[in-house]
Amino acid sequence: MLTRVNTQGKIGIENTNSPEFIEKQVDERGFYLYEWISKDELRMSVLSDYLSIIRGSSMPLAIVTVIFWLLWIAGWGIGWVILAVLSILGIFYTLVICILIGKMFRKSYLYTRWANVVITDHNYVSAGKVVDRSDFREQKEAFSELEKTFREPLLEPSGLAEHIEQEKQSLMDQLEWIATGGGKIIQSVGRSRDAEGIVVVLMIAWFLYGGMMAAVYFFWVFFVAFLARVFSWIANKALLMANNTEHEIQTLFWEIYESSIALKEWQKNSLSLLTEANQNAWAENLSGKLKESFELIGKMAENATNDTIELRKILESSQYKDIFNFVKYGNWVKTQVIEPIDEIHELLEKNKNTIDTTITELDKQISNTKDSSLQKPLIIQKERLELQIENFERVITMLKSYQEKLKK
């Protein structure tokens, strides 16, 4: 889905997957699900097909319109002529819809099979076909049909937006040429003294043709746009069902990454709170904030651990097990999940030891203080620290269990 916006900015889709971004993801984790053809591009391709059909049929429609009105002069009744024109229009629109629906079905087949491409270290995988990334000839043979159909080479910008603008301009140029040519014919015929009836007929035919083309372009284009939107939505749902495993793998990768970011952020937050707590004798408000921070750390660590284990199971049971780089995956998991959990564990152990030392010193102070009024604040401080020790031990135990699961 590497698309570009044309210079007028009229049509285009945001460029979300640059080649550099994709390579970075593959290099880090060994797997990336690339959305080659997006739902919006599928919709745009239907509009492109419609404009191509209209452009190709505008001249024949103009000729047929004039012929039928000339038949009026030849003796046909006006009713028969109007009926004939309406019949031609009915046949025309039926053919347009049939051709368009036929193209939609063909594109939906290609879309649901090839629109998503799994990229690993050494392969492209789509529709069950594994292609070596270094074999450009094999890539061309495998992906050429989709590249031509959607005007987008693999991992390159789409040409759909520009093509639609070109089709629109070509259609406008063609209609302008027909209008100009028709005007010249009417002028030429009009010079003849016996041609008044023919001129009127030609003018009526030309106005009728202009109205038909306006309806085809300005009215039907909205109908086609609506039809394309519904069609692309249905095709996208079919794609998601057909590629459920790939999407699940990609989703788990992102969820692990997001949990990793959250773990690192809450690690910084906890470090800041622990530093402040040590400086302020573990005031009650800081204890509450630390407890909340620990709970969030535990939740993020649990999510990251479960997702990591689930992801490995899916990869090992999928069609990618023989081409996926599990060593790279292990290194990625270590960086994203194991190291943050280890660092938080180490941070908590360090602070727990510090508090243990403080409690031991408080015990000595309490035993050496004879005045009960002086003992009371020391006892309260000790109780606060013991409560924090319990919180630390609970989180440390939880983190240890996650570490054991991840290192199996």
Sequence-distant (6+) residues with CB within 8 A of 397 are none
- In the structure encoding, which two tokens stand for residue 184, read together? 């010249």
d(Cα 249, Cα 243) in Å, to the nearest integer? 10
For residue 110, give both structure tokens: 């290609």
Q: Classify domain 245-406 at the CATH topology level.
A: Methane Monooxygenase Hydroxylase; Chain G, domain 1 (1.20.58)
d(CA 41, CA 33): 17
Checking 234-243 for CB contacts under 8 A at 24+ apart, the result is: 234/108, 235/39, 235/42, 235/107, 235/108, 235/111, 235/112, 236/39, 236/42, 238/108, 238/112, 239/111, 239/112, 239/115, 239/116, 242/112, 242/113, 243/33, 243/116
DSSP 218: I
pLDDT of residue 6: 35
How far, CA to CA in Å, does 305 sit from each of 66, 77, 352? 74, 82, 24
pLDDT for the residue numbered 160: 80
Q: What is the pLDDT of residue 116?
A: 86
Residue 85: what pLDDT? 66
pTM score > 0.75 for this model?
Answer: no
Helices (H) and strands (E) in the chain, counts: 12, 4
* pLDDT attached to residue 167: 76
Q: Which residue has the tokens 């991992």?
A: 155
pLDDT of residue 256: 92
Per-residue model confidence (pLDDT) at position 8: 37
pLDDT values of the chain reduced to their tens digit, one per residue, 408 residues: 543 333 333 333 334 467 888 888 888 888 888 888 888 888 888 888 888 877 776 666 666 666 665 665 555 555 666 666 667 777 777 887 888 888 888 888 888 888 888 898 888 988 778 889 888 888 888 888 888 888 888 888 888 888 888 877 777 776 666 666 555 555 554 455 445 455 555 565 566 666 666 666 666 777 788 888 888 888 888 887 777 788 889 889 999 999 889 888 888 887 777 777 666 655 556 667 777 888 888 888 899 999 999 999 999 998 888 889 999 998 999 999 888 888 888 888 888 888 888 888 888 888 887 777 777 877 777 787 788 788 888 888 888 998 888 877
Neighbouring CB atoms inside 10 A of 185's CB total: 14
- Give the end-to-end CA distance of the chain in Å, rounded to a whole number: 38
Domain boundaries, the chain: 19-242, 245-406
Contact 325, 30 (CB under 8 A): yes
What is the model's pLDDT at position 5?
34
- b/e burial code for range 265-280 (CB count within 10 A of at least 16 → b): ebbebbeebbeebeee
Q: What dihedral angle (degrees, nearest 10) is formed by the CA atoms of 315, 317, 321, 326?
A: 40
Q: Are 147 and 153 in contact (CB under 8 A)?
A: yes
